[in-house]
Structure 1
Amino acid sequence: MRHVEEWNEENIQIRAHELAEKAKEVWKYPYLPVDILEAYKSSDIENPEYTLEHYEYLKDDILTLYYALRKRIMNTDPSVKEEMKKLYIAFKAYTNFVDIVPQKSRLRLSLNIAFPDILDPKGLCKDVSEVGRWGNGDVEVGLYNLNEIDDVMDLIQQAFDKQMEDY
């Protein structure tokens, strides 16, 4: 087939068959029963669905705090969606702009905005750009009680607005 004068559909099919046969000789694989192979297909792996009950610390006062914050975040814009992840709860428009990790005594928020870009007159934010954390973003802020929601929402709004600017 090396010196074929015309590469038409028939000759391409013949060459493909020859190459497939050679590949089977070169790259042998161990015999596995079909049922074992089927178990490893990615389409057979289920994506787990997470709910609020999945989060260990999302109960009592922290759950009340979460519901109040969630309502405010969802009212930011009609494009905002909530997505439960294994280790955090994401709020996104185009991508995550705030992620929430429920903790024993607070909600830890990761804001997806560069630390130098956040306007934080009350000094609530922490730069976590060099720290490994669950969630997306360089800015961390803790929410401990309902009285802090307005201040925290100002920071969340900045992360949302920055995302909307960038897209």
Structure 2
Amino acid sequence: MSKRIVVINGSPRKNGNTDLLIDAFIQGAESGGNSVTKFNVGRMKITGCTDCKYCFTHLGECAIKDNMQEIYHALYNADMLVLASPVYWHGMTGQIKSVIDRMNVGTAKPMPITAAALLSVYGDTDTEAVEPTISHYKAIIKYMGWMDFGIVTQSEVMEKGDIKGLSSLAAARDLGKSIQ
């Protein structure tokens, strides 16, 4: 049975290494008959959660009316979530973090998501630089009770296109293909 997948791209850089990794994942996922919706949140207007608790008294509706409304619609129709972000200061970007925080509405009105994956790139040669990002992702899926479908990371990709020809693109494509 095909899955409805939402990909949240936290990179503000258009056509960068994160985009290329996502594109490989999407190619694999769609080849298996899955439908994929991608949001480039690094270029959308999404403010952070204000902890106003409006969502708790309004069945998961958020008081903030911005581009997050499009994402909510997709998330409430998704089977799987893919978080994709470059590593900035040993973590996900602020843009994707705002989306994650705003997903707090899911505690008031649960989303149908049952699985997740992480795609992450970083320029550092130290492979431990991505560990806080992976740890954050694992904490999210544990809290939400989602199955970890996989993690694909790539180090040493600083400039646009540095990821081209690297094995992480095949790994992302294979991850996408493996979704049944």
TM-score (norm 1): 0.31
Give the number of the structure whose alpha-carbon radius of gyration is greater. Answer: 1
Higher relative contact order (CA 8 A, sep 6+): 2
